[in-house]
Amino acid sequence: MQLLLKSIFTCALFVIFVYATAQSLLKVQETEARQAYLNVTSSSSSNLSQDDVHFLSRRLRQATAGEEGEEGAPSQMDDELEQMTKVHAEAPDAEELRECSEGLVLPLWMPQRNISVGDRLVRGFVYFVLLIYLFVGVSIIADRFMAAIEAITSIERAVVVKGPNNTKQVMHVRIWNETVANLTLMALGSSAPEILLSVIEIYAKDFESGDLGPGTIVGSAAYNLFMIIAVCMIWIPAGEVRRIRHLRVFFVTALFSVFAYVWLWLILSVFTPGVILVWEAIVTLLFFPLTVLWAYIAERRLLVYKYMDKNYRVNKRGTVVAGEHDQVEMDAEKGPKQPMVTSARGNDAEAFDEARREYITLLTELRQKYPDADLEQLEMMAQEQVLARSSKSRAFYRIQATRKMVGSGNLMRKIQERAHSDLTEVKAQLHAGDDEEADDPIRMYFEPGHYTVMENCGEFEVRVVRRGDISTYASVEYETQDGTASAGTDFVGRKGLLSFPPGVDEQRFRIEVIDDDVFEEDECFYIRLFNPSEGVKLAVPMIATVMILDDDHAGIFAFTDSVFEITESVGRFELKVMRYSGARGTVIVPYWTENDTATESKDYEGARGELVFENNESEKFIDLFILEESSYEKDVSFKVHIGEPRLAPDDELAAKIKEVEKKPVQDLTELDRILLLSKPRNGELTTAYVRIRESQEFKATVDKLVAKANVSAVLGTSSWKEQFKDALTVIPADESEFDNDDEEEEVPSCFSYVSHFICLFWKVLFAFVPPTDICGGYVTFVVSIFVIGVITAIIGDAASYFGCALNIKDSVTAILFVALGTSIPDTFASMIAAKHDEGADNCIGNVTGSNAVNVFLGIGLAWTIAAVYHSSHGMTFNVEPGTIGFAVALFCGEALIAIMLIMFRRWHKGIGAELGGPKVSKYISAAILVFLWVFYVVICILEAYDVIRV
């Protein structure tokens, strides 16, 4: 479909070119014939006044238009020619046969006199091809310019906002307001060629007015308002609609876009016809900041807007946002009515929270779609989709369209690369502390720092490790210290020196435990490291704890703690059950799980079973499986219980206890009492709460990725190497989305290769422009606008030579060829925005805003410079209304019709949106807009050639 539209635009442009060329060359032939006739009849002539020459020219035009067909007209014209035999044979009328004047940059194609029709046709074709190539070049460098603007407007500042529980959170928000950015730098970026052409033409004509600059601006405005919106209406996929979100801003820009041309008509034809005064030019220029300020006030609901009706609603993600009354009604039509509230959190905090919730939602959807993928893969895929679905500026769609047309691929591929680099960078930041230990000094410590041994173990081994630089000799001393266990009674005290030769990173020594037959509680003692050698640092744990368990008791069973906090990403969690105050015999301990705030089979897998502690075994683990949902603020818990422990039926101690239990109490001996006391029993902690919380690493990852989810970053470049690589590489301009993972990777098409090699000169040339990462994009901004100015000056010269060679007026060249050439990239940018954006602001709102800015800034700046220049020299700045004044008046009337049509579609119940909607209605609306543009162009051409006289 897109290729078809490109073909239609190309064919239409070619047909217009052929028709205009044929008509102009016909006039050239007629003019040359009349010139030859004048040369014959003026052998005894002398000079005529300028008024006489102009009168003769008008009479000849009337004769050409058909007056000679009337009876007696030829003889009347002969009489006039005989009376006006004073005209110079070598000086044809300038209006009849233009002779090109030297341009500002582009050399003039000589000679200029006695040119044949075939020569003129060849020159016109060459200039036409040159214009197209220059339009491609200025489009490419304009996108580099817009990438710089995007980098500038993406500058962020840190703000502190309050969270849901009044917790403070540091966030980064853009300094530039979106509306202000779109109406200033973004409008300047997309309209830079038209604006600069108007200013350069003033300078090139010695501060006199021309038709090329203003004509391009007016013609571009008509094409943008009628054709771009018409194409976008039918480009929306079937069954979908696009509505303007910032309706107040659209009203302001639409009002100013119409007022701009009304004002232009007033100062051209009403206030001081044919003369532009200094105050008129300055006021025109000042309307530009006024438009921006008014749109900002409307968008921020300042001044009078804050008293207007404002509703709050809860959007589809559960976020409280301010909405317009009609938007709330639209939401009510689409689904159940959302609850209304009376206040909302700060816009910055809400935007960040909404982006974070969107990331979590995407991650959950991807987990369901790819259950076997690991978390890091899912995080990267989610980041790709967040970047792909995030709100995009006009610059993104403009650059995307240009890259596809010139064979530089799809920006979606850069989004994939950006998502991968973002995730890699975030992970590296989170794990930066893990690699910092390599620079630390030599460290020594126990590993592990806690030992549990049985009283009958005899000896056990203690391990000391060295970390850091192990290429040198090191040593450390150790000694045992009493705790509840005493040296000489419960263990054998020991003291010594551990030596670490070069290359050795651990040493071991043994401690002896003393066994006795006396029932005792669990006891402990300590081993400490001290007096390390020079350059060695003792690290935690520098003291090891040794727990001695009595082996004459079956033991007491309990959890090590009452609450365990785990992350949902842990997967399998081992919950430890300890056996202390004895480890004799085989003991069976039942266990089971119970819901608390967590739900079985949703947050965790239920568990039930028995733990079997073998003789002298002091700990066992309950395997708990946590179901990961990757929730950002998850905080749920469940319980794990252990039941009454019992000795195994075949255990020797169990048989002895049964025999003792059969004896009368008075017959029990001391050993029998000790034996009864050795039965297994539960301790105090028989219930443990397992609290499932979000992973801190996952939370930090989400926060950092959301903060980095700025799609403007993919528009810029970081190095000249990257720019030259992009310039020399052909990338397929595919339209695939990220969820089409089964599709094979596409290869560049033939069209991509042809476009690439045609535009290779521009790509390589503009690769020398500094990357946007230098000085925040400001260097790129300055260099790009300079290059745009140079190419625009060449376009102005080429367009003037093109019209001169084919005898086409500058006003017609501007409205037809130059306006279309500068607007084609915006057409495809709007088409991409219409398809992928959720709203119509980037399709319609930017059109009206750009039209207003073009007049106020493009014409206002150029005419202010010229008016001030003439005023300083005691002269007036004269601007002949001519075709431009007529085109402005005609455009104003048609613009009102177009805006009323757009608003009718929005408020019509059967359509309900500016773009898309029912097939019949959108094609009828598009046909009306296309007719308005065709009518506008035809009428302007007819008026320019005096077919229609106003």
721-780 tens-digit pLDDT: 888 888 888 876 554 443 444 444 567 778 778 888 888 899 999 999 999 888 888 899
Cβ-contact 539, 443 below 8 angstroms: yes
The position carrying tokens 């030019």 is 281
Cα separation of 828 and 6, whole Å?
9
pLDDT over threshold 80, residue 612: yes
pLDDT in tens, 358-380: 666 666 667 667 766 666 666 66
Q: How confident is the model at residue 351 (pLDDT cuts 50, 70, 90)?
A: low
Q: How confident is the model at residue 790 (pLDDT cuts 50, 70, 90)?
A: very high
DSSP 431-448: TGGGGGGGGS-EEEEESS
pLDDT over threshold 90, residue 449: no
DSSP 244-255: -S-HHHHHHHHH
Cα separation of 367 and 375, whole Å?
8
Nearest to 115 by CA among 806, 837, 778, 903: 806
Cα separation of 521 and 517, whole Å?
13
Task: Give every CB contact of residue 154 below 8 A, 6+ residues apart in sequence.
Answer: 174, 176, 710, 712, 713
Cα separation of 944 and 950, whole Å?
10
Cβ-contact 287, 856 below 8 angstroms: yes
DSSP-derived secondary structure letter, 540: S
Region 583-607 average pLDDT: 88
Cα separation of 783 and 775, whole Å?
13
pLDDT over threshold 80, residue 480: yes
Cα separation of 457 and 829, whole Å?
79
Cα separation of 90 and 88, whole Å?
5
Q: How confident is the model at residue 200 (pLDDT cuts 50, 70, 90)?
A: very high
Cα separation of 291 and 562, whole Å?
65
Cα separation of 14 and 30, whole Å?
24
Radius of gyration of the chain (CA): 42
Q: Looking at 396-484, which runs of residues are DSSP E strands?
A: 442-446, 450-454, 459-467, 474-481
For the record, the structure tokens of 728 come out as 């020399």
Cα separation of 841 and 728, whole Å?
34
- Residue 315: what pLDDT? 40
Residue 939: Cβ-neighbour burial (10 angstroms; 0-12, 13-18, 19+): middle
Q: How confident is the model at residue 822 (pLDDT cuts 50, 70, 90)?
A: confident
Task: Give every CB contact of residue 355 below 8 A, 6+ residues apart in sequence.
Answer: 386, 390, 706, 709
- Residue 833: what pLDDT? 81
pLDDT in tens, 589-598: 999 999 998 8
CA dist 274 → 359, 769, 873 (Å): 60, 42, 18
For residues 510 and 325, the model is more confident at 510
For residues 386 and 822, the model is more confident at 822
For the record, the structure tokens of 665 come out as 């109490």
For the record, the structure tokens of 843 come out as 């399709």
- Residue 305: what pLDDT? 52
- Residue 46: what pLDDT? 42
Strand partners, 464: 446, 507
Strand partners, 636: 692
Question: What interhelical angle do 50-65 and 2-41 show, nearest 10?
Answer: 120
pLDDT in tens, 679-733: 788 888 899 999 887 665 566 666 666 655 555 566 778 788 888 888 888 876 5
For residues 557 and 87, the model is more confident at 557
pLDDT over threshold 70, residue 91: no
pLDDT over threshold 90, residue 289: no
pLDDT over threshold 60, residue 88: no
- Residue 145: what pLDDT? 85
Region 421-425 average pLDDT: 64
Region 864-886 average pLDDT: 87
Nearest to 342 by CA among 365, 314, 317: 314
For residues 210 and 362, the model is more confident at 210
Cα separation of 724 and 732, whole Å?
17
pLDDT over threshold 60, residue 148: yes
pLDDT over threshold 60, residue 446: yes
- Residue 603: what pLDDT? 83
- Residue 599: what pLDDT? 87
Cβ-contact 788, 192 below 8 angstroms: yes
Region 314-321 average pLDDT: 37
Task: Give every CB contact of residue 346 below 8 A, 6+ residues apart in sequence.
Answer: 161, 162
- Residue 809: what pLDDT? 86
Greatest mean pLDDT among 291-300, 524-533, 628-637, 696-705 lies in 524-533
Element (H, E) at 72: none
- Residue 670: what pLDDT? 63
3-state secondary structure of 551: coil
Q: How confident is the model at residue 632 (pLDDT cuts 50, 70, 90)?
A: low
Cα separation of 190 and 822, whole Å?
9
Instruction: Give the angle 28-31-33 at the CA atoms, nearest 5°.
Output: 110
For the record, the structure tokens of 546 come out as 């040794």
3-state secondary structure of 256: helix
DSSP 660-697: HHHS-GGG--HHHHHHHHTS-EE-S--EEEEEEE--HH
Cα separation of 56 and 48, whole Å?
10
CB count within 10 Å of CB 634 equals 19
ω into residue 645 within 30 of 0, thus cis?
A: no
Region 439-466 average pLDDT: 82
Nearest to 768 by CA among 757, 758, 776, 779: 779
Percent with pLDDT over 70 in the chain: 65
- Residue 478: what pLDDT? 93
Residue 726: Cβ-neighbour burial (10 angstroms; 0-12, 13-18, 19+): middle
Element (H, E) at 8: helix 2-41
Element (H, E) at 562: none
CA dist 185 → 1, 136, 145, 549 (Å): 32, 21, 10, 76
pLDDT in tens, 225-243: 899 899 989 888 888 888 8
For the record, the structure tokens of 602 come out as 């949703």
For the record, the structure tokens of 687 come out as 């219930």
Nearest to 405 by CA among 192, 143, 186, 228: 143
Task: Write down the mean pLDDT value for the chain.
Answer: 75
Q: How confident is the model at residue 793 (pLDDT cuts 50, 70, 90)?
A: very high
